[in-house]
Structure 1
Amino acid sequence: MHSARFILPFSLLLLGAWSSDASKKDPVAEARFQNEKRIGDANITKKQERDAEFMVDAASDGLLEVELGKLAQQKGTAPAVKEFGQRMATQHSEVNTALRTLAEQKGIVLPAGLGGKQQKTYQELAGLPSTEFDRRYLETMVDDHANDVDAFDDMSEDAYDGDIRGFAAKYLPTLKEHLDMAKQAQDQVQVTK
């Protein structure tokens, strides 16, 4: 019943996202703007605004982790880095798919690509020499996953929407596992250097 009232606005937002001038905008900023506008227009609570913000952040982090995982498979020198990158690309793609499905059900706009901050991180890592890449990639993954674990932990208890709480609770163990794996890979890379 609630999702029906968001179908038309969501469809209109999708059409707007495909317009030619949308390609010039930062996808993350545009998703935030569209969600704030929809929430403001619908007079929805601040808690629902926080839910949408969480989903945009989760999507932008997930997109970055997939792209960096692919980069690690190409550029990484240590086997632990290549293996971790492959796992991140695969598992975060699965999480991203589930997140997109949930966002569609809730009428929440997610970024279609990397935002400016994520592009900057990607470019910085892509520009590193291979010898420096492994260390910096794993540092980035430890930091990103620590932030993700905190956000998913908070939202597994505090999200306004029960489905979003359920999503956060479902994927929190996966993100904790990724954080542990990143730390283990980091230890392996430091031992071999």
Structure 2
Amino acid sequence: MRCTLIALGCCLLAGPVLAQSIGEKSGVNSVLGVAPATADFVKEVAISDMFEIESSKLAEQKGNAQEKSFAQQMVSDHTKTSTELKQLVGSGKVQATAPTALDSSHQNKLDKLKDASGKDFSSDYDSYQLSAHKDAVSLFERYANGGDNPELKNWAGKTLPALKHHLDMAQELGKAPSVGQSSK
């Protein structure tokens, strides 16, 4: 018990250090409520937007009526946030580099969606959207509350309500039967 408390204390004291990539990548920052480093925030947002756009383009083709409607909004909204983030980084107001490709974890999920159809596609897409939006809300809340770049912090705060709405919508995916869709 004492060792656990000492380890926890060390983690809390190391909060600023944990705000680097390892903390964000491992989920430690989220558990501790620590704001991500600016570079990590930009990376996570860029990858999240790319995944939302690409997976939702698949849902526009393969999903049921409810998923297609949701996917159209995801493509539109995440294209907008992706453009805004690129403008902030490109303006020099944010010192970070946005990735231009998905990481392996998100690419694997996208590949799984490409190969899935029917109920399997819906189950995976719905689950991925719920998880992605929970993560995004946490990420944006933590940066809006404690980020170190004022421009990016302001943008995170302004973007957060839309992400919370996306999360609410994602929680409804698969709950209501879609009109005109047969269950396969």
Report TM bin, short chain.
0.7 to 0.9
Letter in structure 2 aligned against 1:88: M
Q: Give structure 2 stretches of 5+ with no counterpart.
A: 1-20, 22-33
How far apart in 2 are the matches of 1:153 and 1:161? 14
Aligned equivalent of 1:67: 54
Q: CA deviation at 1:190?
A: 9.1
Distance 1:48 1:175, change over 3 A: closer
How far apart in 1 are the matches of 2:148 and 2:142? 11
Cα deviation, 1:26-48, whole Å, max 9, x if unaligned, reads xxxxxx8xxxxxxxxxxxxxx99
Q: Is the 8 A contact 1:156 1:168 kept in 2?
A: yes
Q: Is the 8 A contact 2:48 2:132 kept in 1?
A: yes
TM-score where L is the length of structure 1: 0.70
Distance 1:133 1:48, change over 3 A: closer
Aligned equivalent of 2:15: none
Of residues 106-115 and 166-175 in structure 1, the stretch that sits farther from structure 2 once superposed is 106-115
Q: Does 1:136 align with 2:124?
A: yes
Cα deviation, 1:32-85, whole Å, max 9, x if unaligned, reads 8xxxxxxxxxxxxxx998111111101101100000110000111x20001111
The share of aligned pairs that are identical, in percent, is 27
Q: Is the 8 A contact 1:59 1:96 kept in 2?
A: yes
Q: CA deviation at 1:107?
A: 3.3
Q: CA deviation at 1:163?
A: 0.8
How far apart in 2 are the matches of 1:49 and 1:187? 33
How far apart in 2 are the matches of 1:53 and 1:65? 18
Among 53, 66, 69, the residue aligned to 1:83: 69
Find the residue that maps to 1:84 and give its secondary structure.
Answer: helix
Aligned equivalent of 1:92: 78
Among 144, 150, 162, the residue aligned to 2:150: 162
Aligned equivalent of 1:180: 168
RMSD (Å), alpha carbons = 2.2
Find the residue that maps to 1:186 and give its secondary structure.
Answer: coil
Aligned length: 147
Q: CA deviation at 1:175?
A: 0.5
Letter in structure 2 aligned against 1:96: S
